[in-house]
Amino acid sequence: MKDYTKELINTLQIIYNSTFMPIHLFENNNCICSIPNNELPVDFIVAYRNNIVFKEASLNYFSTKEFLHVGIIKSDTKDMDIIIGPVSTTILSETDIDSLIASYSLPIDYKEQIWDFYDKTPSFTVSQLLNIMALLNKELNGNIVDIFEYFGFTDKTKEQRVGKHHADALVENKEQSQFHDTYFFEQQYYGYIERGDVNGLQHFIQQVPSFTEGRTSNDSLRQAKNIFISTTAIATRRAIAGGLDIETAYQLSDSYIQEAEKMSDQASILALNATAAIDFTSRVAEARIPKGMPEDIYLAIQFIANHVNQNISVEEIAKHLNMDRTTLSKKFKRELGFNISSYIMRRKLEEAKSLLTYTDKTISEISEYLCFSTQSYFQNVFKAKYKMTPKEYRKSQKK
């Protein structure tokens, strides 16, 4: 192996050790180095490489339908290229892995190997991917590229095209006296969500006035989905402002948007919009967390919400916040009116209600998932709180 190639591989290993971004080096169309070593089938990487290797630019990347991103850096002077990735911005599901195997006609025997590979590989944003590509390009070709300029993130042509469309539409709308008039309606609508006022929101939805919507698509179904996505995004943030914990809010938003994308008629999407709004509002009402609380107490609440499936202790929360246990306990009680241990139990029981309503998990599985010492203890505290057993609550929700 040539000295240059050896030095390049050493450099690639250092970059991997710093980033954990998978790297494959090809020379004369043959993979001569895999980092981490042979953890992903080479023919899998070759399949990705074939999608971009024939493009003329020295740097290229593409994204798959499974939310994976792959980049290529080609040498300007040698028959050599570097493939980085595939990496993901999200956690892959088993369905995603099955889709990958089907898309690239890989043997089913690869499934466990591919699953293990992605389990070990951190998530990366596209921006991180492109910056690492720029670093590797400096190593391979000796020149520094501005990723914003290189990949057209500051595309003046597109800016001019959008600007012209905007100017023309603005002139036409003014001449026809057609204006966006939803702003004040939206302020009232989202205000009910943020306050957790379910009855007020239901009454408000029944008396929606006539107004003019903007046009986001030339396709009516896509228009309905676009509006649903934007309204759900705003509802998510207003619900968080109203006290709903961040992870619950964002995951609920993702779930509703995925549901909307499955729909094929506008009426269903309109109904789902109302359903989502009332759901967010109800959850804010249940959260009952006052606005304007100190940041450390807010972060304590988020920590508890994200760890209800663990044995959370006050000491652990205080350590996470770099606070003294006693100080945290006193401040939590002063700000919210109840002690932190009671709040932990409350969140566990609220999570139990959700699991009883929306999943088929057994009562034993829910008890174990939420780290109750015994199933009987879980049933006792649940009944003390809601005046019915978990089994009775599940039946009531099905009715």
So what's the pLDDT on residue 46?
A: 80
pTM above 0.85, yes or no: no
Question: Mind listing the pLDDT tens digit for each residue in 333-382?
Answer: 998 888 999 999 999 998 999 899 888 899 999 999 999 999 999 999 99
Give pLDDT tens digits for 303-313: 998 899 999 99
Residue 104 is classified by DSSP as: T
Are 59 and 76 a contacting pair, CB within 8 Å?
Answer: no
| Distance (Å, whole) CA 122 – CA 69 | 13
Q: Is the pLDDT of residue 41 over 80?
A: no
Question: Would you state the pLDDT for residue 157?
Answer: 72
Q: Compute the distance between CA of residue 389 and CA of residue 288 in angstroms, rounded to an integer.
A: 23
Before 22, cis peptide (omega within 30)?
no
Sheet of strand 68-74, all strands in order from the earlier edge strand to the far edge: 30-35, 23-27, 80-88, 68-74, 59-63
What does the block give as tokens for 266? 């506008």
Evaluate whether 72 touches 66 at the Cβ level (below 8 Å): no
For residues 307 and 301, give the distance between their C-alpha atoms in angstroms, rounded to a whole number: 10
The pLDDT, as a whole number, for residue 170 is 61
- What tokens does 378 get? 């879980």
59, containing H or E segment: strand 59-63
Mean pLDDT for the stretch of residues 384-390:
92
Q: Sorting pLDDT into bands at 50, 70 and 90, what band is 294?
A: confident
**pLDDT at residue 181 tops 60:** no
